[in-house]
Structure formats: C-alpha cells, structure tokens
Amino acid sequence: VTTDAHRALRRRVRDVVAASGMTPFALCDAWMRGHDPAFTARLAEAGLVGLSWPAELGGRDATHTDRLVVTEELLRVGAPVAAHWIADRQIGPAIMRLGSDRLQREILPGIASGEVTFCLGMSEPESGSDLAKVRTRAVADGDTFRLTGRKIWTSHAHRASHAYVLARTGGGDDPHEGLTELVVDMSSEGVSVRPIRDLAGEHHFNETVFDDVVVPAHHVIGTVGGGWAQVTEQLAFERGGMERVLSTYPLLARLIDDEGGDATGDPADTAAIGELVARLHTLRAMAFGVASAMAAGEAPVRQAAMLKHLGTTFEGDVVEAARDRFGGSPAPGAAGLEGLLAGGIVSTPGSTLRGGATEVLLSIIGKAELPPAGRSRPADPRGDVRSLADDVLAGRDRQDDPAADDTLWPLVAGLGWPGVGVPESAGGSGGDIADLAEIVTSLAAHGHAAPVAETALVGRALAAAGRTSDPTAPATLAVDEPCRAGPDGRITGRLGGVPWARSAAHLLVRVDGPSGPSLALVATAAEGVTRTPGANLAGEPRDAVVLDGVIAETVGDADAVARVRRELAVLQCAAIVGAAESAVASAREHVRVREQFGRPLAAFQAVAHTVARMAADLQAARTAVADAVAAAGDETDDGHRAVAARVVTARTATAVARQAHQLLGAMGITHEHDLHVSTLRLWSWRDEHGSARSLARELGRAALAAGEPAVWDWITHDTDRLGTTTAWRAS
Ligand SMILES: Cc1cc2nc3c(=O)[nH]c(=O)nc-3n(C[C@H](O)[C@H](O)[C@H](O)COP(=O)(O)OP(=O)(O)OC[C@H]3O[C@@H](n4cnc5c(N)ncnc54)[C@H](O)[C@@H]3O)c2cc1C
C-alpha cells in the first residue's frame, strides 16, 4: 500500500538528496561507510530524522512504515547516513519505549536535530556472538554509575556524541541477568577511542575503553538488570530494516542502468537481474511486514532474523551478479560499475556478521521452529477460509494416483470451492482471489489434487465477461501458448500439459489474432478436440490437447488474457506454498523423532539451521504470494508482482525440496514416506506455465528496458508501473 503521505516523504528525501550535491548510486554500504554530519543536518532540517517519536520530543509522530519509506529511499541512492543511523534506527526508539521522561527530553530532540549521534557499545574482545558474556561493568555510586570496560568494533565511536553501552550491573550464575543498558556521553572523562582500520583500509571500527566513567543514573534505559530482555527486543529494530537488504543496491541499480540500453543482452545476465529484482520485491514486502509489526507495538524478532538472513544473502548475490557482468578484477576507486563492485566485494563479508551473525540468526529461527517439549511453535498465518479448508481436509485419505481420487471432486464441488472467487450472481460461491488462494494452499498442503483453481479461474473469466458458469462441472485453461484463429473464426492449436483436460467440460484458451490476444471458450466435447492423457512428475493429470478447426466463443480481450494469466500464476504460487509447508512440516517432525548419535537430530545445530533456512524460504514464499494476491486485486498492477512471486516461490520450491530430502535421509526418498507427495509437486509446479528461468528472464528484460527508477517504483509499489509490455500486463 502506498499512501499519499509516503509519496510526499519520498519526494522530501529526493529533494534533500538533490540539494545536498551528493552523487547518487556512488557508494555501496553507505549507511556504514558514508559518514557526513552535514548531510545528516540537512535531513534533520527537513524533518526526516527521528520520525517515529512524538513531536514534543523533536520527532514527527510518524509510523514505522513512514520511517521505512524514508530509509529505503536514502539507502537506494547510497546516501551518507552513517552519522545518525544508529540513533535514529534503534537507540532513539529504545529510549522512547523504555527511557525515563528526563532521558527522553535530554536525548531525543538532539537525535532528531542531528546533533546527538550514537555508537553502539555491545561487542567486547571476549564477547561477540555470545553477547550475554559482556564484562564491562557499571557499579552504582549514589545517583551515578561508574563504568569500566572495553568495547570493540564500535563503528564511528570516534565521531559519535554518545554511546549506547551494554554493561554488567549485577552478578549471578545466569549471564543473562544483571545486564543494564546505559547512555554514555562520549565527551566524559575516562572515555578513550583507538582506531581499527577495516580490510579496505577505512576507519569506522574502534576499540572504545571506559575507565571509571561517571554515568548519571537517569541514563539507564529501562530497568537496571533487565537489559537482556530489552536488548533482544531491540535487535528486531537493528535487524529488521532495509539496510539489511539494500547495502549493495547502488550496484544493482548500476547493473540495471548500464545494461538498460541493450535489453537483448546475454540471457544469463538478464535472468540473473530478473531473479534479483523478484527477490528484492519480496524482501521489501517482508521489511514492510516487520515495520508494520513494530508499528503495532510488537518486537518481531524472528521475522527480523529471517529478513536479515535472506537480505544479506541477497546483498552478496548482487555482488556476484555484478562480478559475472564485469568479468575482471575491479580496481578500488574506479568509476561506475567497477568501483562500486570493488566496494561491494570488500563490504559484504561484514553484512552477514554485524547485527548478529547469520548462524546466530539461524539458531534463533531454529529454536522457534523446533521448540523444546512443552513449548509450541509460533502459529503459522491462517486466514478463515484456510482454517475451514484445513478442517475439511485434515485426516482425509489420499489416493496414490491423484487422477483416481473420485471422491474428492464431489466433496469440494459440494462445498462450492470451485466457485470461490466467482460472484454468486455468476453462479459462483462469492469471495475473492485471496479466498481462492487459501483453498488452493490448503489442498496442496494436504497433498490433494483437483481442478479447483482451474475451474474457478474459468468461472472468474466468464463472470468478467458477464456470463455465468457451473462450478460443479470441472473446467480448465491453457493460456501459456496461443492458439490461432482461422478466417472462419475456428481455432487451431496444440496445447501441452493442460491440467485435468480429460475431465474438463470446458477449456479456456488464448487466441492470438491480428487484433491481439483474446480469450476463447471451447467445449471439450466439440468436434475437432482431441485429448491425450499425460501426467507431471507428481502424477497429476497434465494432458495434451489438439484443437483442429474448433468452434469457440470469444469471452475476453487482451486484458482478460493478461488477468487470467496473472491469476493463474498467483494460484500456482499459493499451491507451492502449501506443498512447501507440508515438506517443512515433514522435516520438522522427522528431526524431532529420529535419533542418531544418541540424540534427536533436532539437537544438532547443523540440522536446526537447515530447518531454519527452510522456514525463512517458506516465509519468503508466503510473503510473495500475499503480495501477488494483493496485486491481483489492484487494477493498476501490470503483472510483474505475479511474475516476481513465481520466481521467488520457484526458488523456495527448489530449496525446500532439496533440504527436506537431505534431512529425511533415505527414508524420504521412499514411496512409503509422504514427503514425495509434496516434493514431486514442488518440482512440477515450479516450472509449469513457464519455467522459473524464463520468467526471471522476462522480468529481467522488463527491468532492463524500464530502467532503475521505474524498477524502484515497482519495488516500493509507488506507481505500480514498470512501463513496458509483457503478456502479463493488462493494458
Ligand atoms: C561491519 C561491522 C560493524 C560492526 N559494528 C559494531 C558496532 O558498532 N558495535 C558493536 O558492538 N559491534 C559491532 N560489530 C560487531 C558484531 O556485532 C560482531 O561481529 C558479531 O556480533 C559477531 O561477533 P564476532 O565478530 O566476535 O564473531 P564470533 O562471535 O567470534 O563468531 C565467529 C563465527 O562463529 C560463528 N558462531 C559463533 N557462535 C556460534 C554458535 N553458537 N553457533 C554457530 N556458529 C557460531 C559466527 O556465526 C561466526 O560465523 C560490527 C561488526 C561488523 C562486521
């Protein structure tokens, strides 16, 4: 959703960037490497720092999603935002949530004006990932604390006015107890900062020593001794933003624009760009979800961990794509793509460490996925329709051969499922494409197969043409490859892999004629129709259909063709999510009960991390589907979100199937075990109706032709216009 307020914020950011004279798209990792107090001051003056706290404390009363819009716009161009980043992102919000009135009044207006800047004093020489082991100590002394200890890797400590310091104020056996969060004035006596150069020779890291530094007691954030619970919640703020996705975006932008003039370039590069653009779209939607959860007062620690894991992987993959494109060893400081690539290469190793190393994030996700006995997993998202469908399908017997299950169709047709998404006035059951997607996901999650999606899509197309349909009679569609219309209007075509054509009463086809594509309805019993049964890897009916001069009725124009293709893509993605859910559930169950080396497999970190990766991949697919469903109901959408969802869910299909089989060992590749029901489907569906690779290439071509500004608008849903022609586009 893009509101006018968001558009206005974007414009404000762009104005500041333009007025600052900075060179856009010139620096990777600018939120760490681009330290420019003058730029921060300009932003602050424009009211773009400290957005998320109240106006009386210097903020703007804005939401976390407003802040997301501002930050992503800055990250996009590689703006030098490092000076205020830590304060604006996490320390300000932490003080807002937990700080005393006095501390809020003392610090927050200064952050919002760009004068108070923070560095982050968490890590210590002996305490990296194991943050609870910090030894820096703060001892109460009247209405002050005396702080002594060493922090390391404190980025920009030599420039910050204040430090956030996690220190030990209590003892006890549990290292998580007795930790306290403090705000320290860096100009205090006893603070010293020693520079540490990074591998590129740049200076942002420091070792910061506190030697009996006096800290006023009201500089405690939250409660004395309660720091651990607070800091783990704050990590959602630290990990859940777009800086975990966009550190190398200027490089991707350059890749798109450098190639822009030549949309016929090397197909490998084009597909790689398309895949990156698709993933970026989903990552942005995930970040929007994290920001929305924060706006609702939650601390979405697990979702933020997933976003950071997937986002930093993406950042590294952007660099790899640029490496492939550049094809040589880049020189630092060079102009254009080369210099950006050099900067990207040296900055990406830090991405998967800072803010929590990937392995630590996977452990957080893994613990949630495989909770100890007596604790339950966080509930999966379930809409009402999905819950109802799950209730109907749970425990229902499944036939080995999907085509032989002759009780499923009467059941689902009796419940009206093939009419979901079709208005009641047109013979359907009402509801919308989102409801239909939930039913499709449920069927897939339970390993059932019936032409529900196909019948409903035909019903929707007919309803849009003002016609009624009978959803109790199976129907299907073949809209990937066009048929041809003869001068007499009769149509001819060879269609492969048509789902359930053997049992369909009607077939919806795409006809390409002199006036463009159109939709036509064929009665399968008509003269000239030949159907030959076939199957996909999962044994689902995928039949060959030959149309030889068949009489057909035109039921839709080019817009209708585009719409039905988009909706088919959305439902295919929804089905992939269902099958992936089932594969992940099989893996989770197996590793809890299967023992090796005297322990359940789940007790091995490598196994828990694999489960965590699967959960994150599944979450990406869910997000992609939710976004594509939303786009399907948006008249201004041009179909790229559906293509992006296809690309992302195909990646999930591949990754989840591979990892599930690895976890289940030999058992998983037997016919006795149910895993094959989901993985054979995942392997089939990821490439049906257009292979994942051809779709990535299509998206890549569209991105290259449109250029970075249009791609950005599309990613951020600002205009929903990528400005190019594809078969998915409505008009
Ligand atoms: C660019 C950058 C900026 C930073 N800025 C700051 C800053 O401003 N302030 C600050 O406080 N810190 C900062 N850090 C430090 C950062 O928080 C730490 O690097 C991070 O927490 C990891 O700690 P470590 O480097 O000591 O690695 P270690 O914890 O020693 O880990 C080394 C490797 O072992 C793995 N590992 C560790 N424990 C486990 C485990 N239990 N299971 C499996 N694998 C494990 C890790 O995943 C990693 O791959 C920064 C780091 C970087 C790279």
Mean pLDDT, residues 263-267: 58
Integer CA distances (angstroms), 647 to 159, 281, 642, 654, 706, in order: 43, 11, 9, 11, 19
Q: Which residue type is seen at 156?
A: H
The response to whether residue 122 sits with its C-beta less than 6 Å from ligand 1 reads: yes
Given this model, what pLDDT does residue 13 score?
97
What pLDDT is attached to residue 4? Answer: 85
Which atom of ligand 1 has the smallest separation from the CA of 349?
A: 53
Nearest alpha carbon, ligand 1 atom 26: 128
Neighbours of 722 (CB within 10 A): 25
* Among protein residues, the one whose CA lies closest to atom 25 of ligand 1: 128
Task: Output the pLDDT for position 244.
Answer: 98
Between residues 488 and 649, which one has the greater pLDDT? 649
Average of per-residue pLDDT across 59-64: 92
- Ligand 1 centroid to Cα of residue 282, in Å, is 27
SS (H, E, C) 270-312: HHHHHHHHHHHHHHHHHHHHHHHHHHCCCCCHHHHHHHHHHHH
Residue type at position 395: G
Convert 423-434 to b/e letters by CB count within 10 Å (16 or more is b). Answer: beebbbbebbbb
Q: Is the CB of 202 under 6 A from ligand 1?
A: no
Q: Per-residue pLDDT for 96 more than 90?
A: yes
Q: pLDDT tens-digit profile of 161-205?
A: 999 999 999 988 899 999 999 999 999 999 999 999 999 999 999
Residue 535, ligand 1, Cβ within 6 A: no
Ligand 1 atom nearest residue 357's Cα: 47
Average pLDDT over residues 4-13: 92
Select from 407, 510, 502 the least CA-distant residue to 458.
Answer: 510
Residue partners of 200: CB distance under 8 A and separation at least 6:
332, 343, 346, 347
Q: What is the pLDDT of residue 215?
A: 98
**pLDDT score of 261:** 43
Query: Which residue CA neighbors atom 43 of ligand 1 most closely?
Result: 359
Q: How many helices (H) and strands (E) does the chain have?
A: 23, 17
> Using CA atoms, how far apart are residues 569 and 559, in angstroms rounded to an integer?
15
- Give residue 538's pLDDT: 96
Which of 584, 567, 572, 539 lies closest to 686 in space, CA to CA? Answer: 572
Region 227-254 average pLDDT: 94
Pocket of ligand 1, candidates 234, 354, 358, 609: which has the most ligand atoms within 8 Å of its Cβ, to mutate? 354
Q: What is the mean pLDDT of residues 256-285?
A: 82
Indicate whether residue 350 lines ligand 1 (CB < 6 A).
Answer: yes
3-state secondary structure at position 595: strand
- Give the model's pLDDT for residue 727: 43
What does the pLDDT read at residue 725? 32
Beta carbon of 403 within 6 Å of any ligand 1 atom? no
| Ligand 1 atom nearest residue 347's Cα | 1
pLDDT top residue among 171 and 114: 114
**Annotation says 238 is catalytic:** yes
From residue 435, alpha-carbon distances to 256, 624, 629, 724 in Å are 36, 16, 10, 30
Q: Tell how far the Cα of 153 is from the centroid of ligand 1, in angstroms.
A: 9
**Ligand 1, atom 2: nearest CA belongs to which residue?**
354
Calculate how far, in angstroms, residue 129's C-alpha sits from the geometric centre of ligand 1: 5
Ligand 1 centroid vs 447 CA: distance in angstroms?
42
pLDDT grade for 233, boundaries at 50, 70 and 90: confident
Mean pLDDT calculated for residue range 43-56: 95
What mean pLDDT is predicted for residues 147-174? 96
Q: Check residue 334 and give its pLDDT.
A: 93
Q: What is the pLDDT of residues 378-391, one digit of tens each?
A: 888 788 999 999 99
In percent, the amount of the chain with pLDDT more than 90 equals 86
For the chain, the average pLDDT equals 94
Does ligand 1 have an atom closer than 6 angstroms to the CB of 132? no
Min mean pLDDT across 150-154, 485-489, 629-633 is at: 629-633
Is the Cβ–Cβ distance between 650 and 686 less than 8 Å? yes
CA-nearest residue for atom 51, ligand 1, is 354
| Pairwise CA distance, residues 193 & 183, whole Å | 16
C-beta of 351 in contact with ligand 1 (< 6 A): no
**From ligand 1's centre to the CA of 354, what distance in Å?**
6
532 lines ligand 1 (CB under 6 A): no
Atom of ligand 1 nearest to the CA of 352: 53
Q: What is the pLDDT of residues 684-696, one digit of tens each?
A: 999 999 999 999 9
pLDDT at 171: 82
Q: Above 80 in pLDDT, residue 635?
A: no
In this predicted structure, the answer to whether residue 141 has a pLDDT above a threshold of 80 is yes
Average pLDDT over every residue of 407-413: 97
The overall longest dimension of the chain from CA atoms, in Å, is: 97
For residue 179, what are the β-bridge partners?
168, 226
C-alpha of residue 128 to centroid of ligand 1, in Å = 5
Task: Give pLDDT, residue 632.
Answer: 84
Q: What CA–CA distances, in Å, run from 710 to 22, 364, 399, 716, 722? A: 21, 37, 48, 10, 5
Query: Quick check: pTM over 0.85?
Result: yes
Q: Ligand 1 mean position to 353 CA, how many Å?
A: 5
**Cβ atoms within 10 Å, residue 194:** 13
Residue 329 in this model has a pLDDT that exceeds 50: yes
* DSSP letter string, 456-487: HHHHHHHHHTT----TTS-EEEEEEEEEEE-T
Check pocket membership of 353 for ligand 1, CB cut-off 6 A: yes
Structure confidence by residue, pLDDT tens digits, 523-575: 999 999 999 999 999 999 999 999 999 999 999 999 999 999 999 999 999 99
Q: Hey, whose CA ends up nearest to atom 13 of ligand 1?
A: 153
Least confident residue range of 249-263, 393-407, 552-566, 655-669: 249-263
* CA 703/CA 183 separation, integer angstroms: 46
Tokens of 350: 């830090």
Q: With bands split at pLDDT 50, 70 and 90, how would you rate the model's confidence at 347?
A: very high
- Cβ-proximal residues to 13 (8 Å cutoff; 6+ apart), any chain: 43, 46, 48, 70, 73, 74
Query: Among the atoms of ligand 1, which is closest to the Cα of residue 121?
Result: 11
Instruction: Return the amino acid letter for 78.
Output: G
- Choose among 353, 356, 355, 319: nearest CA to 338: 319
C-alpha–C-alpha distance, residues 148 and 209, integer Å:
8
Q: Tell which atom from ligand 1 comes closest to the C-alpha of 198.
A: 1
Taking 50 as the threshold, does the pLDDT of residue 216 lie above it? yes
Residues 297-325 have a mean pLDDT of 95
CA of 357 to the centre of ligand 1 (A): 5
Q: Which of 249, 241, 300 is nearest to 66 (CA)?
A: 241
Written as one letter, the residue type at 43 is L
CA-closest candidate to residue 311, choices 292, 295, 325, 290: 290
Q: Are 699 and 608 in contact (CB under 8 A)?
A: no
Statement: residue 267 has pLDDT above 80: no
- Is residue 718 predicted with pLDDT exceeding 80? no
Cβ proximity of 127 and 151 under 8 Å: no
92-109 mean pLDDT: 96
Query: Has residue 579 got a pLDDT over 80?
Result: yes
Both structure tokens of 584? 């992940």
Summarize the confidence of residues 606-616 as an average pLDDT. Answer: 98
Rounded Cα distance, 13 and 34, in Å: 16
Residue 1: pLDDT band with limits 50, 70, 90: low
Mutate to test the pocket of ligand 1, among 29, 86, 123, 247 (most ligand atoms within 8 A of CB): 123
Q: Residue 148: in which H helix or E strand, if any?
A: strand 144-152
**DSSP conformation class of 153:** S
Is the minimum distance from the CB of 153 to ligand 1 under 6 angstroms?
yes
At 573, which amino acid appears?
C
Q: 667, 673, 575, 678: which is closest to 621 by C-alpha?
A: 575
Per-residue pLDDT at 260 exceeds 50: no
Q: What are phi and psi of 649, to 5 degrees?
A: -70, -30
In the predicted model, is pLDDT for residue 341 greater than 50?
Answer: yes
The minimum-distance atom of ligand 1 relative to the CA of 131 is 21
Q: Is 357 in the pocket of ligand 1 (CB under 6 A)?
A: yes
- Per-residue model confidence (pLDDT) at position 258: 80
**Crossing angle (nearest 10°) for helices 301-326 and 336-351:** 150
Catalytic residue among 124, 181, 238, 369: 238
Q: 194 CA distance to ligand 1 centroid (A)?
A: 19
pLDDT in tens, 443-464: 999 999 999 999 999 999 999 9
Cβ of 154 below 6 Å from ligand 1: yes
d(CA 673, CA 677): 9
Tokens representing residue 107 in the block: 């610090």
- Backbone dihedral region for residue 116 (phi beyond 0: left; psi -120 to 50: alpha; all else: beta): beta
Amino acid at 293: A
DSSP letters of 306-332?
Answer: HHHHHHHHHHHHHHHHHHHHH-S-PPT
Residue located nearest, by CA, to atom 30 of ligand 1: 128
